Structure 1
């Protein structure tokens, strides 16, 4: 005769909490559906507080912002930190749509000027996106690769995420091989009192290569049209071209 074992008696609560705390949010939700014990543990405030702070470290490192804003939300939210996480997730999803709309409006003949491109990157910063937000919402193969690029640029330059972590995120999202075309024009050099023709450069580069080592192209994107670079355009590499209107609908 087999005797069923009560998980509450066989596994200490603190060990069970440690196991749950090591999981990603989707896995926590799945684990919570296994039994009443796991449902209660996976809905606990101490677990979801950690998930909130892990996903949005920039926000929760700001003690003044946390105490003035999130303590009020927690007080009014009957679901505690879990409800706060869900609310913040939905808020970020809406902000992603605003970034996608901005990029769509800025497109001209399937390409975007670097000034508008950098504004899209700055929008992510103003919305206080975290690395996991970018992974979840922007590093998706169904999106236009220009949105992938905006997310990649933001992670490397603004969040200063280590290259190996960014590459891992690109690989797991299956977007590392997607390519963009970056074109830039530089002022011609002076030669014996005459200025030569402006220099034209064009490179197709994959997102994975940009994250790994292509400092020249990433540098041009980050600096924008300043000093010697008079114009920069970014577009989908021709070999990877697909309809923007179809892809933006996937956001």
Structure 2
């Protein structure tokens, strides 16, 4: 504690502010509980505005708009006096995102009977994340949990890759830190049989088992393309399921393309 007091007395305010600006939310909260000096600094609007925009990049689009200030003012009126400004905005939005994530989790769990989900429901869950304006950190907090169904991990991963455009190395780092990169998914899709000299061949069945890490590192681009397009044109049906730890002779044979 004496070292902390010495630091706050010897540090210029701009240097202390720069230190706090480099911390994560949990660290900012911990540092803010150390003394009055750090509490005031860690609770300042400039710190929490930066944290808000880092977590929800879409806020950059409105940060110069007068409407943004109006929204913050309206939010302040609705919240406790201790939670005003950008810190109050962060706390309220975090709670909103947690509630929205719970809705997506419930939806996927209801649609994934027998640990499998049809692609229509799967894409609906991803579209819900988009409409809810989920950020990359929201996905990490609420969907990249090892205790959740791997199908929910996949929904969050697909959303980060295709909708948010998060670079592969960042996605892979998040998967590793959450210890879910090795979790596996099984995807099977059926395609309309091709025409051959006036005759239609029988429908084709394709399947693939892969890890979340493989998908993040673009090792399964074909599967990602199939999932992204959904059941349209020549693709009749797509089913996503939890990959079983063991492989029976029948299921192993099913991983081969059948014409």
Deviation beyond 4 Å, 4+ runs, structure 1: 2-5
1:183 and 1:202 in contact (8 A); partners too: yes
- The alignment status of 1:122 with 2:124, answered yes or no, reads no
- The alignment status of 1:137 with 2:137, answered yes or no, reads no
| 1:22 equivalent in structure 2 | 22
| 2:222 equivalent in structure 1 | 216
Instruction: For residues 90-143 of structure 1, give each alpha carbon's deviation from its aligned partner in whole angstroms, at most 9, with x where no partner exists.
Output: 110000010011112212332110011000000001111011100111101011
- Root-mean-square deviation over aligned CA pairs: 1.9
Number of residues paired by the alignment?
239
Query: What is the TM-score of this pair, normalised by structure 1?
Result: 0.89
Distance, in Å, in 1 between the alignment partners of 2:17 and 2:193 is 63
Shift of 1:191: 1.1
- The alignment status of 1:189 with 2:194, answered yes or no, reads yes
SS of the aligned residue for 1:238 comes to coil
| 1:158 equivalent in structure 2 | 163
SS of the aligned residue for 1:239 comes to coil
2:72 and 2:86 in contact (8 A); partners too: no
User: Structure 1 residues 10, 195: CA separation in 2 closer, same or farther (over 3 Å shift)?
Assistant: same
SS of the aligned residue for 1:87 comes to helix
Q: What does residue range 52-131 of structure 1 map to in structure 2 within 5 Å?
A: 52-62=52-62, 63=65, 66-74=68-76, 76-77=78-79, 78=81, 79=83, 80-131=85-136
Shift of 1:186: 0.8
2:32 and 2:38 in contact (8 A); partners too: yes
- The alignment status of 1:226 with 2:232, answered yes or no, reads yes
- The alignment status of 1:168 with 2:170, answered yes or no, reads no
Q: Which runs of 5+ in 2 are unaligned?
A: 247-259
More displaced stretch, 26-35 vs 174-183? 26-35
Shift of 1:67: 4.0
SS of the aligned residue for 1:185 comes to strand
User: Structure 1 residues 56, 39: CA separation in 2 closer, same or farther (over 3 Å shift)?
Assistant: same
Q: Which runs of 5+ in 1 are unaligned?
A: 241-251
1:189 and 1:195 in contact (8 A); partners too: yes
Distance, in Å, in 1 between the alignment partners of 2:69 and 2:120 is 36
1:60 and 1:66 in contact (8 A); partners too: no
Shift of 1:190: 1.1
User: Structure 1 residues 65, 212: CA separation in 2 closer, same or farther (over 3 Å shift)?
Assistant: farther
| 1:38 equivalent in structure 2 | 38
